[in-house]
Amino acid sequence: MKNIRNILCIGAGYVGGPTMAVIADRCPEYRVTVVDIDPERIRAWNSPRLPIYEPGLQEVVERCRGRNLFYSTDIPAGVREADVIFVSVNTPTKTFGHGAGRAADLQFVERTAREIVEYAQEGKIVVEKSTLPVRTAQALSRVLQANGKGLRFPIVSNPEFLAEGTAIQDLTFPDRVLIGGTDDPEGQEAVETIAQIYTHWIPREKLVTTNLWSSELTKLVANAFLAQRISSINSISALCEKTGANVDQVSQAVGMDSRIGPKFLQAGIGFGGSCFRKDILNLAYLCEHYGLPEVAQYWESVVDINDYQARRFVEKILEAMFNTVTEKKLAILGFAFKANTGDVRDTPALAVCQRLLAERATLAICDPKALDNARKELGDAGGRVTYHQDPYQACQDAHAILLLTDWPLFQTLDYPKILQGLPRPAFLFDGRNCLDHKALFEMGYNVYPTGSPPWTHFL
């Protein structure tokens, strides 16, 4: 096991940023540096206004920044000084060429490997933190070992399982930490070296060590299984709406089976975020590559149901609102892909809003943390989209209220007061199924839950 003094993380995003902050906090004897090619991001990490919103993150950063946590754009110096390098750059789905729309775009990962080779003056452990297709470590290794300087760069896969909105909690109390390495002594020593970081605050029995490929694959499979549960319950929500069953009751009773468990059974407008779609498509691509088209198809159907669910939501709105939303103002409560984050990557709210704009609706979007990002995605669509911090302003004069993100704030709004400012009939579509539908109906709203029949005043 090597002694660590300096840790470098390349990529100051949603994963690298919080992960390194927690490592710096828990391991005061290490000097942790986070570098990024984007100087704006680094400037923000060094400012009072961090580039990402994550509950509890600000406090951790403020405790450690300037003490043993540093943010910089100086990649060469960072690489030179590091004993261990975490690679946490983004790996989007390819948008061009072979595998477009499905395979992961590894150009950033490869570029990072080349930077390490260029600036390193001695060998160091390189840790894959980004979620990567299985066997990426091999490609990485080939670039790193062909360094012409005789240096060794053992590779470790250490995928991150944190969820946005609960990142600090997940990093502090993880269900497990997965560390994969090669079977040779060099690989095993590298695994032990990385394990030593986590044992500062995580019980040893939560550390799982595997070979490299198992570790890489586990991350894709974990995300695929989680997404699959959401698509499963969403598919059942469609059936519930037709039959009069209530999806919340079904998921509660199903989840009480200890073999199934209660989590990730919340029906809604579909999953979003930077990982689920990308990782499933990537898994499917991998299966096809290895001659397993049936397996690929199985996993792709999880994404198909997700797209169907957002499409179905808009169709429900149209049908209820007399087949037209043209020129109607719709209040959009929530744009982030989930509560407690400002992240809008692959948010189902975007798909819903785009469809509604295609129907020529007017949208008033409210979100506590995601308005800037929402604006970047949607713009003002020729004056048909407005953005509001105040939910009451967004709802004023709206023909319908659409709840698209499960922010707790939206559960405690003064709905009787909102109703006074609405034209009649007043419509409310609960895309996250988190409001009290009966109470809203009794106030006078026509309420459309997800996964149970509507509550309407129409005869």
- Catalytic residue annotation: 275
Q: How far is the CB of 88 from ligand UDX (least distance, A)?
A: 5
Per-residue interface string for the shown chain with ligand UDX, residues 75-114, x marking contact by CB under 6 A: -------------xxxx----------------x--xx--
For residues 273 and 343, the answer to whether their CB atoms sit within 8 Å is yes
Is the bond leading into 425 cis (omega within 30 degrees of zero)? yes
State residue 387 phi and psi, 5-degree precision: -120, 135
Q: How far is the CB of 161 from ligand UDX (least distance, A)?
A: 4
Examine residue 163 and tell whether it contacts ligand UDX (CB under 6 A): yes
Q: Which of 8, 9, 11, 312 binds ligand UDX (CB under 6 A)?
A: 11
Q: Which of 7, 8, 9, 15 binds ligand UDX (CB under 6 A)?
A: 15
Q: Which of 27, 62, 395 is nearest to 193 (CA)?
A: 27
Angle at the Cα of 236 from the Cα atoms of 232 and 241, rounded to 5 degrees: 155
Cα–Cα distance between 96 and 82 in angstroms, integer? Answer: 34
Strand ranges across the sheet with 6-10: 69-72, 31-35, 6-10, 84-87, 125-128, 155-157, 177-181, 207-211
Per-residue interface string for the shown chain with ligand UDX, residues 244-283, x marking contact by CB under 6 A: --------------------xxx-x--xxxxxx-x-----
For residues 162 and 172, the answer to whether their CB atoms sit within 8 Å is no
Cα–Cα distance between 369 and 321 in angstroms, integer? Answer: 29
SS3 300: helix
For residues 167 and 54, the answer to whether their CB atoms sit within 8 Å is yes
For residues 122 and 151, the answer to whether their CB atoms sit within 8 Å is yes
Examine residue 70 and tell whether it contacts ligand UDX (CB under 6 A): no
* Residue among 446 and 450 whose Cβ is closer to ligand UDX: 450
* Residue among 119 and 264 whose Cβ is closer to ligand UDX: 264
Q: How far is the CB of 14 from ligand UDX (least distance, A)?
A: 3
Rounded alpha-carbon distances, angstroms, from residue 335 to 280, 329, 348: 23, 16, 8
Examine residue 12 and tell whether it contacts ligand UDX (CB under 6 A): yes
* Residue among 230 and 371 whose Cβ is closer to ligand UDX: 230
The CA radius of gyration of the chain, in Å to the nearest whole number, is 24
The residue range among 35-43, 289-297, 320-328, 364-372 that interacts with ligand UDX, by the rule CB under 6 A, is: 35-43
Q: What is the H or E stretch that residue 446 is in? A: strand 446-448
* Residue among 161 and 201 whose Cβ is closer to ligand UDX: 161
Residue 81: how many other CB atoms lie within 10 Å: 17
Total residues at the site for ligand UDX (CB under 6 A)? 42
Q: Which of 4, 7, 8, 16 binds ligand UDX (CB under 6 A)?
A: 16
Cα–Cα distance between 22 and 16 in angstroms, integer? Answer: 10
Per-residue interface string for the shown chain with ligand UDX, residues 329-368, x marking contact by CB under 6 A: --------xx------------------------------
Residue nearest to ligand UDX (CB): 13
Q: How far is the CB of 44 from ligand UDX (least distance, A)?
A: 10
Q: How far is the CB of 279 from ligand UDX (least distance, A)?
A: 7
Q: How far is the CB of 322 from ligand UDX (least distance, A)?
A: 29
Query: How many residues are listed for the chain in this entry?
Result: 459
Q: Which of 20, 23, 27, 41 binds ligand UDX (CB under 6 A)?
A: 41
- Residue indicated by tokens 């100087």: 39
Q: Which of 340, 197, 348, 333 is nearest to 276 (CA)?
A: 348
* Residue among 337 and 445 whose Cβ is closer to ligand UDX: 337
Q: How far is the CB of 352 from ligand UDX (least distance, A)?
A: 12
For residues 42 and 72, the answer to whether their CB atoms sit within 8 Å is yes
* Residue among 154 and 334 whose Cβ is closer to ligand UDX: 334
Examine residue 38 and tell whether it contacts ligand UDX (CB under 6 A): yes
State residue 31 phi and psi, 5-degree precision: -100, 120
Among positions 405-444, residues that touch ligand UDX (CB under 6 A) are none
Q: How far is the CB of 274 from ligand UDX (least distance, A)?
A: 4
Local structure of residue 256 (DSSP, 8 states) = T
* Residue among 10 and 325 whose Cβ is closer to ligand UDX: 10
Q: How far is the CB of 339 from ligand UDX (least distance, A)?
A: 8
Residue 105: how many other CB atoms lie within 10 Å: 18
Q: Which residues bind ligand UDX (CB under 6 A)?
A: 10-16, 36-38, 41, 88-91, 108, 111-112, 129-131, 160-164, 223, 226, 230, 264-266, 268, 271-276, 278, 337-338
